[in-house]
Each structure stands twice: as C-alpha cells, then as structure tokens.
Amino acid sequence: MTGWPVYVINMDENPDRMARARAELDRLGIAFTRFSAVNGRAIPEDEVPRVYDADANARRFRHPMIGAEIGCYLSHVALWERIAAGDAPGGIVLEDDFAARDSLPAVLDALARDGDAWDIVKLFSLDKPQRLLDRRPLVVGAAGGDGAAGGAEIVIPYKVPTTMLGYAIRKDTAARLAAGALPVSRPVDEDHKHFWELGLRIASVLPPPLQFGETSFEEGSIQKTRRRSRGVAGLAQAGRNLRYRLRYVAGLHWHRLVRRAR
C-alpha cells in the first residue's frame, strides 16, 4: 500500500462510477478517500468570473470552457489544496472512470519512495506510442497477470499525455499549483500540456497502471458535452483552433529544444 493518500474524484450524481472505482481499489487492497467533485454546472452566475476568466480563455484556448470542464478543474484544485495541507509528501489523484491493472499498488508504492526530480507522474496516457526523452526503472518484476510482470518504468514523454485519469503529485507542487490556479482559462489537462508555462516536470509510467474503465465514454462525459456545445464550427472557430495548435506546437518544440541544449 502506498504511503501517500489516494483520492478518487466522484460526482454525487454518479454512485455507479464510485462503486466500480471502489471495487477496483478494494480488489488491489488500496485504501482511498472519496472526494465529492465540484459540479461546474451548479456554480452561481455571479461566482463564475472569480473561477473562470473568459477573456484569457479566448486568448489561450481553442473554445470556451463548459461547466463540466470548470468543475473538473476546481475539483483538482481543491484536492491540491488538501494534499498541500496534509502530512504526506504527496498524493495520488484518480478520476472515477478508471480501471486498474494489477501493477498499480507496486507503482504507487514506488512513486511514494522515489526521490528523483519530478513534480507530477501520469498513470495513464492516450498517446501511443510515445516519444521519450528519458526512461529508467521504477518497479522491477511487479507481480500481476496483466502484463506487469516485467516491471514498470518512469519516463519523460516529449509531449505530456492528455487526460487527468490518474497521477501522483508532490506536496510542494500541489501547493504551488493551487495557489496560482484561479481563475482558470483552459481545462486542467491542457494547462499541464503547457508544462513550460507552469514550470512543471511531468513524467509518466510505462506500462501505465491505469486504463479507461467502461464508464469513460458514457453520455454526459466532458467530451460529449463539449461536442454538443460547439455546434457547427465556422471560419472564426477554425482560425481559433489553428492559432491554438500553432502556439502549442511551437512552444512545445522550443522548450524541448532548450532542454536538450542544457
């Protein structure tokens, strides 16, 4: 069992998701705390400007944030504050739509004991295969029947993986991110993809100890809600998408080049 606290973000309206997440963690003997997610759709109208900067969003992201995305970000911020105020050197944050591989306990234990220079370690990635800048052993010979017997590595991906399905975060990083998070202007995973803006050292675990669970693509997910809110994209939206993409790619390549030159 990891020495760091494990939190599962779950909406009160989704008890079935919580039941599945609980079953996964109980199966592996991982103690956890449920965290009631912030319902972004229920934020009072006069409170929205305090937590969401629409002007900055127009400059920094490809579309306006929807309530679910704002609530998701606020949920992570609240957990960062909790981790920063705790006694442990870090914490594990899981969203409730995960499925766990048998390697998860060994990975979490190894991350809690790892002394290398990282701020966040992602436990899942949609980006396959990944271009890696560095890799080293994390778990040797982890037990499990899901391909984990060969162990696990901690790697530095060229591009930070999308999604916040699960990650480890150090206490000082949680405090720093929480202090500067509001008002938000991009989804939390998009902010972390722009790691250079936040001064973040983000690593990943391979093979990932998490995968998407069966509820990840249910109706009502952020992805589907976002698509419904867009409607038909016109030329202005297409231009905004392109500007965002060009800025991101340029920033990513430049900062990876600077890293290689050091």
Residue 171 predicted with pLDDT over 80 = yes
pLDDT at 144: 43
pLDDT at 241: 92
pLDDT digits (tens, 9 = 90+) for 201-243: 999 999 999 999 976 545 445 555 555 555 545 778 888 999 9
Residue 128 predicted with pLDDT over 80 = no
Q: Is 199 inside any structural domain?
A: yes
Say if residues 111 and 93 touch (Cβ distance below 8 Å). Answer: no
Q: Is 249 inside any structural domain?
A: no
Q: Is 188 inside any structural domain?
A: yes
Mean pLDDT of the chain: 90
The CATH number assigned to the domain holding 209 equals 3.90.550
Measured CA to CA, the distance from residue 16 to residue 14 in angstroms comes to 5
The mean per-residue pLDDT over the stretch 41-63 comes to 96
Q: Is 150 inside any structural domain?
A: yes
pLDDT at 143: 45
Which structural domain, as residue segments, surrounds residue 156? 6-232
Q: Is 257 inside any structural domain?
A: no
- The total number of structural domains that make up the chain: 1
Give CA torsion, residues 70, 76, 80, 81, to 10 deg.
Answer: 50
Question: Is 71 in a helix, a strand, or coil?
Answer: helix
How sure is the predictor about 147, in pLDDT bands with cuts at 50, 70 and 90?
Answer: very low
Percent share of the chain, pLDDT over 90: 79
Q: Is 245 inside any structural domain?
A: no
Tokens 């739509």, residue?
A: 97
Say if residues 168 and 90 touch (Cβ distance below 8 Å). Answer: yes
DSSP the chain: --SS-EEEEE-TT-HHHHHHHHHHHHHTT---EEEEPP-GGGS-GGGHHHHB-HHHHHHHSSSPPPHHHHHHHHHHHHHHHHHHHSSSSEEEEEETTEEE-TTHHHHHHHHHH--SS-SEEES--S-SSPPEEEEEEEESS---SSS-TT-EEEEEESSPPS--SEEEEEHHHHHHHHHH-PSB-S-HHHHHHTHHHHT--EEEEES-SEEE-TTTT-TT-HHHHHHHHH-S--HHHHHHHHHHHHHHHHHHHHHHHHHHH-
User: What is the pTM assigned to this prediction?
Assistant: 0.90
Lowest mean pLDDT among 50-54, 58-62, 213-217: 213-217
Say if residues 160 and 202 touch (Cβ distance below 8 Å). Answer: yes
pLDDT digits (tens, 9 = 90+) for 29-42: 999 999 999 999 99
Q: Is 246 inside any structural domain?
A: no
The mean per-residue pLDDT over the stretch 154-173 comes to 96
pLDDT at 130: 81
pLDDT digits (tens, 9 = 90+) for 83-125: 999 999 999 999 999 999 999 999 999 999 999 999 999 999 8
Q: Is 262 inside any structural domain?
A: no
pLDDT at 219: 44
